[in-house]
Amino acid sequence: MDEKKIYIQQTAMQLFSNQGFFHTSVQDIAEACRMSKASIYKIFHSKEDILAQIVRDNLNHIIHRANYARNEQSKQPRDQLIAKLSREIEGLLEHREYVWMLYQSASINKQSDDIKALLKQGQLIMVNWHKDTLLEAFGTDIEPFVWDLAICMQGMSREMIAFAEKVDRHNFDFDRLAEVLVTNIESIIKHKTSSASVFSSEDMEPFNLQGHYGEIDQKDLWDRTIQQVRAFIHYRFPSYEKKQWVEAVDRLNQEFYEPEPETIVMESLFCFLEKKEELQSNINILREIIQ
């Protein structure tokens, strides 16, 4: 995937987020990219092809985040749950253009079986991750109605994220929001009068991933994320700034592929690159890959 292709995807995602999928044409994307329609069609077959690639890339991020969060076991169960939800909320806000693209284009999954399957897979991963995380925090006593809780938690977090997006992200307390979600779930568990459920384990068996969210090659994810950072710098940074940022990315990539990478060097480069808020979400992914 080259930088031009990534730049087209990033630009298209902004347009889909702002004005909706159906109200965005390939001509709109071409004009925003300062390219011709012919240049777009040399890389993508259609507008739906662009969307499918956006969804596919973000699905890889979802799988990575779900697997990464599952491996964090350093705190008490309740604190782990709060920390994982806080990271989820922050991650979704970092990818808010993608989230809002889906909200604005709710019927896009009717247009393509490929896109529909990708969106369904992402949704299944998230509800399964919520289910598994709740079981880790509260134990098997909630198993008869855990799917109800997972779906409630997913709905509550989605609506809170929708409003959180409207406030100043820099001053937003993600841990506090996550704690409120957990407290609400605890209240539901405490006041539940029976183990009867709306969505039973039998009902949800076809959707149960059994803890297998999918696997992605970490080096492949690293390479794609590095390309996304390079594309952003190349197409969106002022000319006079590009050189030092590109050099930092290239040095980081070089160090990653050393037989024995220097942690201090990589951390210094991460600290430099994350000074740009626009790069923050991708830098977070790169950090997680090496941990």
Q: Name the pTM for this structure.
A: 0.76
Give the whole-angstrom CA distance, residue 183 versus residue 267.
35
- Asked if pLDDT for residue 75 goes beyond 60, the answer is yes
Measure CA of the first residue to CA of the last residue in the chain; give whole Å: 25
pLDDT tops 80 at residue 61: no
What was the pLDDT predicted at 182? 93
Could you give the CA distance from residue 186 to residue 106 in angstroms, rounded to a whole number?
Answer: 31
pLDDT in tens, 14-48: 888 788 888 899 999 999 999 999 999 999 999 88
User: Sorting pLDDT into bands at 50, 70 and 90, what band is 72?
Assistant: low
pLDDT at 62: 73
What is the pLDDT at residue 257? Answer: 95
Q: Tell me, what's the pLDDT at 73? A: 62
Provide CB contacts within 8 A for 219, sequence distance 6+: none
What's the mean pLDDT in 258-266? 94
pLDDT at residue number 184: 92
Q: How far is CA 187 from CA 149, 151, 191, 192, in A?
A: 11, 15, 6, 8
pLDDT band for position 80 (cuts 50, 70, 90): confident
> Is a pLDDT exceeding 80 seen at residue 102?
no
pLDDT at 111 over 70: no
- Exposure string for 67-82, b = 16+ CB within 10 A, e = fewer: bbbeeeeeeeeeebbb
* Structural domains present in the chain: 47-207 (1.10.357), 218-290 (no CATH)
More confident position, 92 or 288: 288
- Of 108, 110, 100, nearest in space to 158 by CA: 100
Q: Is the pLDDT of residue 251 over 90?
A: yes
Q: How far apart are CA 19 and CA 245, in angstroms?
A: 31
Instruction: Give the tokens for residue 119.
Output: 């969106």
Per-residue pLDDT averaged across 6-14, rounded? Answer: 90
Q: What is the mean pLDDT of the chain?
A: 84
Question: In percent, how much of the chain has pLDDT > 70?
Answer: 88
Going from the C-alpha of 198 to that of each of 49, 163, 191, the distances in angstroms are 37, 28, 16
Q: Where is pLDDT greater, at 166 or 142?
A: 142
Per-residue pLDDT at 20: 80
pLDDT for 167: 67
Rounded Cα distance between 52 and 269, Å, is 32
- Give yes or no for a contact between 88 and 161, defined as CB atoms under 8 angstroms apart: no
The one-character DSSP state at 210 is: T
At 113-140, the pLDDT tens digits run 777 777 778 788 888 988 998 998 999 9
Average pLDDT over residues 189-198: 83
Phi, psi angles (nearest 5°) of residue 21: -65, -50
Amino acid sitting at position 199: F
